[in-house]
Amino acid sequence: MKSRIDTLLVEPSDIVRTGLQSILDDDGCFRFLSPLLDATILEERVKTLQPDLLIVNPTVLVPPVSLQMAAIMQAKPNIAVAALVYQYVEPEVLHHFHSVIDIREKRSQIATILKDEVHRVKDIEEESYELSDREREVLVLVAQGLSSKEIADKLSISIHTVNSHRKNITRKTDIKSVAGLAVYATLHNMI
Protein backbone atom coordinates (compact mmCIF):
# COMPACT_ATOMS: atom_id res chain seq x y z
CA MET A 1 0.00 0.00 0.00
CA LYS A 2 1.44 3.38 -0.94
CA SER A 3 1.49 6.15 1.63
CA ARG A 4 -0.82 9.06 1.06
CA ILE A 5 0.37 12.62 0.56
CA ASP A 6 -0.97 14.93 3.26
CA THR A 7 -2.14 17.98 1.33
CA LEU A 8 -3.09 21.44 2.55
CA LEU A 9 -5.06 23.52 0.03
CA VAL A 10 -5.36 27.30 0.31
CA GLU A 11 -8.01 28.50 -2.12
CA PRO A 12 -10.91 30.95 -1.57
CA SER A 13 -13.11 29.63 -4.41
CA ASP A 14 -15.40 26.74 -3.43
CA ILE A 15 -15.72 25.65 -7.06
CA VAL A 16 -11.97 25.54 -7.68
CA ARG A 17 -11.22 23.93 -4.31
CA THR A 18 -13.89 21.24 -4.71
CA GLY A 19 -12.90 20.54 -8.31
CA LEU A 20 -9.21 20.12 -7.51
CA GLN A 21 -9.99 17.91 -4.52
CA SER A 22 -12.21 15.74 -6.71
CA ILE A 23 -9.50 15.34 -9.35
CA LEU A 24 -6.87 14.43 -6.76
CA ASP A 25 -9.24 12.13 -4.83
CA ASP A 26 -9.65 10.10 -8.03
CA ASP A 27 -5.89 9.49 -7.99
CA GLY A 28 -6.03 8.00 -4.48
CA CYS A 29 -2.61 9.26 -3.35
CA PHE A 30 -3.71 12.49 -1.71
CA ARG A 31 -5.25 13.00 1.72
CA PHE A 32 -6.69 16.48 2.18
CA LEU A 33 -6.32 18.32 5.46
CA SER A 34 -8.80 21.05 6.44
CA PRO A 35 -8.53 23.66 3.66
CA LEU A 36 -7.90 27.35 4.21
CA LEU A 37 -9.73 30.14 2.40
CA ASP A 38 -6.92 32.66 2.93
CA ALA A 39 -3.35 32.84 4.23
CA THR A 40 -3.93 34.57 7.58
CA ILE A 41 -3.02 31.48 9.64
CA LEU A 42 -1.07 29.61 6.97
CA GLU A 43 2.31 29.41 8.75
CA GLU A 44 0.62 28.27 11.96
CA ARG A 45 -1.37 25.61 10.10
CA VAL A 46 1.73 24.33 8.27
CA LYS A 47 3.60 24.09 11.57
CA THR A 48 0.70 22.26 13.27
CA LEU A 49 -0.39 19.90 10.49
CA GLN A 50 3.03 19.27 8.86
CA PRO A 51 1.63 18.58 5.35
CA ASP A 52 3.75 16.99 2.63
CA LEU A 53 2.23 19.27 -0.01
CA LEU A 54 0.92 22.82 0.09
CA ILE A 55 -1.21 23.95 -2.85
CA VAL A 56 -1.88 27.66 -2.66
CA ASN A 57 -3.50 30.31 -4.80
CA PRO A 58 -0.68 32.91 -4.88
CA THR A 59 -3.17 35.80 -4.84
CA VAL A 60 -4.07 35.03 -1.20
CA LEU A 61 -0.50 35.44 0.05
CA VAL A 62 0.41 38.57 1.95
CA PRO A 63 3.16 40.71 0.36
CA PRO A 64 6.08 40.44 0.47
CA VAL A 65 5.56 36.86 -0.69
CA SER A 66 9.25 36.02 -0.16
CA LEU A 67 8.92 36.54 3.59
CA GLN A 68 5.76 34.47 3.87
CA MET A 69 7.30 31.65 1.81
CA ALA A 70 10.46 31.75 3.95
CA ALA A 71 8.29 31.42 7.07
CA ILE A 72 6.47 28.44 5.55
CA MET A 73 9.78 26.76 4.67
CA GLN A 74 10.97 27.45 8.22
CA ALA A 75 7.82 25.81 9.64
CA LYS A 76 8.36 22.71 7.47
CA PRO A 77 11.57 22.69 5.42
CA ASN A 78 10.70 19.61 3.35
CA ILE A 79 7.27 20.74 2.16
CA ALA A 80 6.49 20.80 -1.56
CA VAL A 81 4.75 24.06 -2.45
CA ALA A 82 2.67 24.39 -5.62
CA ALA A 83 0.96 27.49 -6.94
CA LEU A 84 -2.60 27.04 -8.20
CA VAL A 85 -3.05 29.61 -10.94
CA TYR A 86 -6.14 30.65 -12.90
CA GLN A 87 -5.36 34.31 -13.47
CA TYR A 88 -2.26 36.36 -14.19
CA VAL A 89 0.35 36.22 -11.43
CA GLU A 90 3.65 38.11 -11.60
CA PRO A 91 6.59 35.83 -12.52
CA GLU A 92 8.59 37.10 -9.51
CA VAL A 93 5.82 35.74 -7.26
CA LEU A 94 5.70 32.37 -9.03
CA HIS A 95 9.44 31.78 -8.68
CA HIS A 96 8.90 31.26 -4.93
CA PHE A 97 6.99 28.03 -5.66
CA HIS A 98 8.39 24.59 -6.46
CA SER A 99 5.80 24.04 -9.17
CA VAL A 100 2.86 25.76 -10.82
CA ILE A 101 -0.47 24.11 -11.62
CA ASP A 102 -2.51 26.00 -14.19
CA ILE A 103 -6.25 25.44 -13.95
CA ARG A 104 -6.19 24.49 -17.64
CA GLU A 105 -3.83 21.53 -17.05
CA LYS A 106 -5.07 18.15 -18.24
CA ARG A 107 -6.77 16.23 -15.47
CA SER A 108 -4.23 13.39 -15.71
CA GLN A 109 -1.27 15.79 -15.51
CA ILE A 110 -2.26 17.55 -12.28
CA ALA A 111 -1.71 14.58 -9.96
CA THR A 112 1.47 13.59 -11.80
CA ILE A 113 3.00 17.07 -11.48
CA LEU A 114 2.19 17.24 -7.76
CA LYS A 115 3.41 13.71 -6.95
CA ASP A 116 6.65 14.32 -8.86
CA GLU A 117 7.22 17.51 -6.89
CA VAL A 118 6.60 15.83 -3.53
CA HIS A 119 9.05 13.04 -4.44
CA ARG A 120 11.64 15.56 -5.67
CA VAL A 121 11.46 17.49 -2.40
CA LYS A 122 11.72 14.26 -0.38
CA ASP A 123 14.79 13.23 -2.40
CA ILE A 124 16.40 16.58 -1.64
CA GLU A 125 15.46 16.11 2.04
CA GLU A 126 17.55 12.95 2.17
CA GLU A 127 20.59 15.03 1.21
CA SER A 128 22.33 17.02 3.92
CA TYR A 129 20.57 20.24 4.89
CA GLU A 130 23.32 21.25 7.27
CA LEU A 131 25.22 24.31 6.08
CA SER A 132 28.99 24.07 6.31
CA ASP A 133 30.88 26.73 8.28
CA ARG A 134 32.00 28.38 5.04
CA GLU A 135 28.43 28.34 3.67
CA ARG A 136 27.29 30.04 6.87
CA GLU A 137 29.95 32.72 6.40
CA VAL A 138 28.84 33.27 2.80
CA LEU A 139 25.18 33.34 3.84
CA VAL A 140 25.82 36.06 6.42
CA LEU A 141 27.65 38.18 3.85
CA VAL A 142 24.91 37.64 1.25
CA ALA A 143 22.33 38.66 3.87
CA GLN A 144 24.36 41.81 4.51
CA GLY A 145 24.00 42.69 0.82
CA LEU A 146 27.51 41.97 -0.43
CA SER A 147 28.03 40.93 -4.06
CA SER A 148 29.78 37.69 -4.98
CA LYS A 149 32.94 39.63 -5.86
CA GLU A 150 32.92 41.45 -2.51
CA ILE A 151 32.42 38.16 -0.68
CA ALA A 152 35.26 36.56 -2.64
CA ASP A 153 37.59 39.43 -1.76
CA LYS A 154 36.58 39.42 1.91
CA LEU A 155 37.02 35.63 2.31
CA SER A 156 40.05 35.38 -0.03
CA ILE A 157 38.38 32.81 -2.27
CA SER A 158 37.43 32.83 -5.95
CA ILE A 159 34.12 34.12 -7.27
CA HIS A 160 33.44 30.61 -8.62
CA THR A 161 33.79 29.19 -5.11
CA VAL A 162 31.42 31.85 -3.77
CA ASN A 163 28.90 30.98 -6.47
CA SER A 164 29.21 27.27 -5.61
CA HIS A 165 28.54 28.08 -1.96
CA ARG A 166 25.55 30.22 -2.94
CA LYS A 167 24.12 27.37 -5.04
CA ASN A 168 24.57 24.96 -2.12
CA ILE A 169 22.92 27.42 0.26
CA THR A 170 19.96 27.80 -2.10
CA ARG A 171 19.67 24.03 -2.51
CA LYS A 172 19.91 23.30 1.21
CA THR A 173 17.58 26.08 2.36
CA ASP A 174 15.31 26.04 -0.71
CA ILE A 175 15.32 29.85 -0.57
CA LYS A 176 16.11 31.62 -3.82
CA SER A 177 15.92 35.33 -2.98
CA VAL A 178 18.41 37.46 -1.08
CA ALA A 179 15.58 38.79 1.09
CA GLY A 180 14.53 35.24 1.94
CA LEU A 181 18.13 34.33 2.80
CA ALA A 182 18.35 37.39 5.05
CA VAL A 183 15.22 36.23 6.89
CA TYR A 184 16.67 32.72 7.16
CA ALA A 185 19.95 34.07 8.58
CA THR A 186 18.05 36.21 11.07
CA LEU A 187 15.79 33.35 12.17
CA HIS A 188 18.85 31.14 12.71
CA ASN A 189 20.67 33.84 14.73
CA MET A 190 23.47 34.19 12.19
CA ILE A 191 23.15 37.97 12.02
Question: For residue 1, is pLDDT > 70?
Answer: no
> Is the same domain home to 119 and 143?
no
Residue range of the domain that includes 157:
133-187
Q: What is the CATH number of the domain that holds 181?
A: 1.10.10.10
Q: Look up the CATH number of the domain holding residue 94.
A: 3.40.50.2300
pTM of the complete model:
0.66
Question: Which of 58-63's residues contact partners 24+ apart within 8 Å by CB, and which partners?
Answer: 58/83, 58/84, 58/85, 58/89, 58/93, 58/94, 58/97, 59/87, 59/89, 60/10, 60/11, 60/12, 61/93
Domain count along the chain: 2
What confidence tens digit (pLDDT) does each residue in 70-81 have? Answer: 889 888 988 999
Residues 102 and 17 in one domain: yes
- pLDDT value for 191: 85
How does pLDDT run across 146-176, given as a tens digit for each residue?
A: 999 999 999 988 888 898 889 889 988 888 8
**Could you read off the pLDDT of 14-41 as tens digits, one per residue?**
999 999 999 999 999 999 999 999 999 9
**Percentage of residues of the chain with pLDDT beyond 70:** 95
- Binned at pLDDT 50, 70 and 90, residue 137 comes out as very high
Same domain for 179 and 120: no
